[in-house]
Amino acid sequence: MTAAGRKLVAEPVALVHHMAGRLPVGRGDHETDAGWVALLQVAAGQERDGDAVARVLGGIGWRVAGELPTYDAGFWARPTRGVLSLAGWNADGIGVLRHDPRARKLAQLALRA
């Protein structure tokens, strides 16, 4: 846990808002952009769809070897999806973020932050 997280551990609402303000995450613009798309999907309650992510990323100019990043898009979104999962709001396993209203709310808060 970060120092900021430790300070907010007794204030769960403030902690959630702090976390939301740090999303999306990534080591590069490609991961951050893919994270925004993943947040949109989760916030809307849509199933994870790597093809949709690839189309959106392609629409804003991302390419791999001149093609849409169909294979790469899912990997690029992993840091943001990982935060949602590691927050404990995906207890049923990988790929079911859309079914958990807490993950959906965190994504919605992140989009508003």
Binned at pLDDT 50, 70 and 90, residue 91 comes out as very low
Q: How many domains does the chain have?
A: 1
Evaluate whether residue 22 is within a structural domain.
Answer: no
From the list 85, 92, 71, 64, the residue with the least C-alpha distance to 19 is 85
Binned at pLDDT 50, 70 and 90, residue 41 comes out as confident
CB 48 within 8 A of CB 38: yes
**What average pLDDT does range 16-35 have in this prediction?**
94
Evaluate whether residue 85 is within a structural domain.
Answer: yes
Evaluate whether residue 2 is within a structural domain.
Answer: no
Evaluate whether residue 8 is within a structural domain.
Answer: no
Alpha carbon of residue 93 to chain centroid: 16
Task: State yes or no: pLDDT of 99 exceeds 80.
Answer: no
- What percent of the chain shows pLDDT beyond 70? 83
Evaluate whether residue 50 is within a structural domain.
Answer: yes
Average pLDDT of the chain, as a whole number: 84
- What percent of the chain shows pLDDT beyond 90? 43
Evaluate whether residue 72 is within a structural domain.
Answer: yes
* Domain housing 64: 28-112
Evaluate whether residue 95 is within a structural domain.
Answer: yes
Evaluate whether residue 13 is within a structural domain.
Answer: no
Written as six digits, the tokens of 26 are: 């990534």
Examine residue 24 and say whether the peptide bond preceding it is cis (omega within 30 degrees of 0).
yes
21 vs 24: CA distance, rounded Å:
8
pTM of the model: 0.83
Phi-psi region of 95 (alpha: psi -120 to 50; beta: other; left: phi over 0): left
